[in-house]
């Protein structure tokens, strides 16, 4: 959990409803227990603060009621904040920037690129829940193996159908038109039946290779998500299970080659390190 201080949120007309939505999501998703509370109280009891042990003894006898700031604290610090899940607080600058574009009065497109396991899909999903937008996934635009160059593993995004993505998604999204998506099915090696996405003020593209040089100029806002290598491994091992070996030996090196050669993070307005977002 984290505190988001209201004094630093910028445009209040946009920030207030976003914070309210994130607060409600946090309340719905975070379920503490009496044991969790007792663990925190025990940690507080060990702090070298005068009077803490006596205060906690009274607090426990009262049944651990809700705690409020003291008058002295309020007068000294004028606290105004919301308590959110750490990930929601960390994503907040990105959500606020995307919300501004959604209200700009013209079609806008946002790209969320970054390392696998860094939280791109989670941020895209969150934008889809909170903002008037379409969310499109780069994973739906793999290039069929028989159309890849012989040395495709040496080419950044050599396994992606960037031309089809540009034609089907970025061109109509930038023009404010509806989008006709035809996701590629890796198992069957065919395009699935198309889905029509209505014209929306904002289109969010999430996924690795979304900021390839052939595509990057099409975006109004570019974001790059990353995390520490050990945290990336922990997340992917948990997410992929038995398939993690393939990620480690093939897909992660391909992605790192793309990042080294194309430098997508260098042209981004927002670079977010999500290492501490999901403890």
pLDDT digit of tens for each residue in the chain (279 aa)?
999 988 777 678 889 999 999 999 999 998 889 999 999 999 999 999 999 999 999 999 999 999 999 999 999 988 888 999 999 999 999 999 999 999 999 999 999 999 999 999 999 999 999 999 999 999 999 999 999 999 999 999 999 999 999 999 999 999 999 999 999 998 888 899 889 999 999 999 999 999 999 999 999 999 999 999 999 999 999 999 999 998 899 999 999 999 999 999 998 999 999 999 987
The answer for residues whose C-beta is within 8 angstroms of residue 236's C-beta and 6 or more apart is 116, 117, 244, 247, 248, 252
Classify residue 48 as exposed, middle or buried by CB count within 10 Å of its CB (0-12, 13-18, 19+).
exposed
Phi and psi, residue 58, nearest 5°: -65, -40
Pairing type for strands 2-5 and 81-84 reads antiparallel
Of 236, 225, 238, 241, the C-alpha closest to 277 is 225
pLDDT at 93: 94
The answer for residues whose C-beta is within 8 angstroms of residue 123's C-beta and 6 or more apart is 91, 94, 112, 206, 223, 225
pLDDT at 189: 87
Domain regions of the chain by residue span = 2-84, 87-273
d(CA 179, CA 196): 6
What CATH number does the domain located at 87-273 have?
Answer: 3.40.50.300
219: number of Cβ within 10 Å:
24
d(CA 17, CA 102): 14
pLDDT at 112: 98
pLDDT at 31: 85
pLDDT at 17: 92
d(CA 165, CA 91): 26
């Amino acid at each position: 959990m984290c505190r988001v201080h209201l004094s630093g949120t910028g445009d209040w007309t946009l920030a207030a409803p976003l914070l309210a939505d994130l607060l409600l999501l946090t309340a719905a998703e975070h379920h503490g227990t009496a044991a969790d509370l007792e663990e925190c109280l025990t940690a507080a009891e060990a702090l070298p603060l005068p009077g803490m042990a006596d205060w906690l003894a009274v607090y426990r006898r009262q049944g651990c009621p809700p705690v409020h700031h003291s008058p002295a604290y309020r007068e000294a610090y004028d606290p105004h904040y919301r308590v959110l899940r750490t990930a929601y607080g960390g994503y907040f600058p990105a959500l606020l920037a995307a919300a501004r574009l959604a209200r700009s009065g013209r079609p806008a497109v946002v790209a969320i690129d970054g390392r696998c396991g860094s939280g791109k899909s989670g941020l895209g999903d969150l934008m889809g829940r909170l903002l008037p937008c379409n969310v499109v996934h780069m994973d739906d635009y793999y290039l069929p193996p028989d159309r890849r160059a012989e040395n495709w593993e040496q080419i950044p995004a050599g396994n992606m159908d960037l031309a089809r993505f540009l034609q089907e998604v970025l061109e109509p999204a930038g023009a404010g038109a509806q989008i006709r998506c035809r996701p590629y099915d890796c198992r069957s090696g065919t395009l699935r039946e198309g889905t029509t996405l209505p014209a929306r003020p904002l289109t969010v593209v999430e996924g690795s290779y979304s900021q390839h040089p052939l595509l990057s100029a099409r975006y109004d806002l570019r974001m790059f998500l990353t995390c520490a290598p050990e945290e990336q491994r922990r997340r992917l091992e948990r997410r992929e299970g038995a398939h993690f070996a393939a990620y480690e030996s093939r897909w992660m090196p391909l992605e790192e080659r793309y990042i080294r050669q194309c430098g997508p993070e260098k042209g981004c307005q927002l670079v977010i390190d999500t290492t501490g977002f999901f403890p």
